[in-house]
């Protein structure tokens, strides 16, 4: 399977947020939830301009949430989501070392504050697998993290797709098939239009490989 998904696979899966402080009548939780809503809207948007608007708005809200409570793991994850999706939307030709560093800082801070943050674990595991070693990639460590996510979150889609591709790369075609099939079924059940195309592609590629053996 191809590895060139460093930014395309950063994705982000997200939802649960906490917070208590208030800024201009808005709580950290409210700002974080709004930021994640913008991130999701951006992923569903059909045109590049609309996506950029949603991701930029999400980042603004997430930055405010982090400024209010730097100990909120979910606020940092919302910031990671907004930056990561904006970079993915722009494509690798617009890759910014500074933005990448800021994105990873937000993700690592999320896990420092909450080592069991499943969305952050899924994102970090994916990144470790997809980026080259000279940028800090580590296939083995990434897969361990993603398998933990699958264990703790039975309905995880992204973790299954990435591990499935890893299994296919090393020749574990049956496990790759099962994981990719589960990911596709979950994407359909959850009506995840943002993940369904990738789930279909992953399953189709792995099914073809299995049949060709």
- Domain 1-145 class, CATH top level: mainly alpha
Confidence (pLDDT) at 18:
32
Confidence (pLDDT) at 10:
44
Instruction: Report d(CA 185, CA 130) in Å as an integer.
Output: 23
Confidence (pLDDT) at 43:
85
Helix (H, G, I), strand (E, B) or coil at 27: strand
List own/partner pairs for 55-59 with CB under 8 A and 24 or more apart. 55/82, 55/85, 55/86, 55/89, 56/82, 56/86, 58/34, 58/82, 58/85, 59/35, 59/83, 59/86
Domain segments of the chain as ranges: 1-145, 154-213
Instruction: Report d(CA 120, CA 5) in Å as an integer.
Output: 18
Confidence (pLDDT) at 60:
96
> Residue 27's beta-bridge partner residues?
22
Confidence (pLDDT) at 20:
35
Tell me the chain's radius of gyration from C-alpha atoms.
17
Instruction: Report d(CA 206, CA 165) in Å as an integer.
Output: 8
pTM: 0.81
Instruction: Report d(CA 83, CA 101) in Å as an integer.
Output: 10
Chunked mean pLDDT (size 10), the chain, 213 residues: 46 37 66 94 86 93 96 97 85 67 95 96 95 90 97 95 96 96 96 92 94 82
């Amino acid at each position: 399977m191809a590895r060139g998904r460093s930014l395309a696979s950063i994705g982000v899966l997200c939802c649960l947020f906490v917070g208590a402080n208030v800024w201009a009548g808005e709580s950290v939780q409210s700002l974080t939830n709004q930021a994640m809503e913008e991130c999701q809207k951006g992923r569903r948007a059909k045109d590049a301009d609309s996506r950029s608007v949603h991701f930029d708005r999400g980042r603004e809200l997430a930055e405010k949430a982090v400024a209010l409570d730097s100990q909120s793991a979910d606020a940092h994850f919302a910031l990671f989501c907004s930056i990561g999706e904006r970079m993915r939307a722009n494509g690798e030709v617009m890759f910014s070392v500074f933005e990448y560093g800021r994105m990873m800082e937000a993700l690592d801070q999320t896990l420092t504050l909450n080592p069991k943050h499943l969305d952050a674990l899924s994102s970090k595991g994916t990144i470790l697998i997809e980026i080259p070693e000279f940028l800090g990639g580590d296939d083995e460590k990434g897969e361990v993290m993603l398998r933990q996510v699958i264990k703790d979150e039975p309905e995880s889609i992204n973790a299954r797709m990435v591990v499935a591709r890893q299994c296919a790369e090393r020749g574990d075609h049956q496990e790759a098939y099962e994981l990719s099939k589960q990911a596709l079924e979950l994407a359909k059940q959850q009506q995840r239009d943002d993940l369904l195309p990738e789930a279909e592609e992953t399953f189709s590629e792995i099914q073809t490989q299995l049949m060709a053996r």
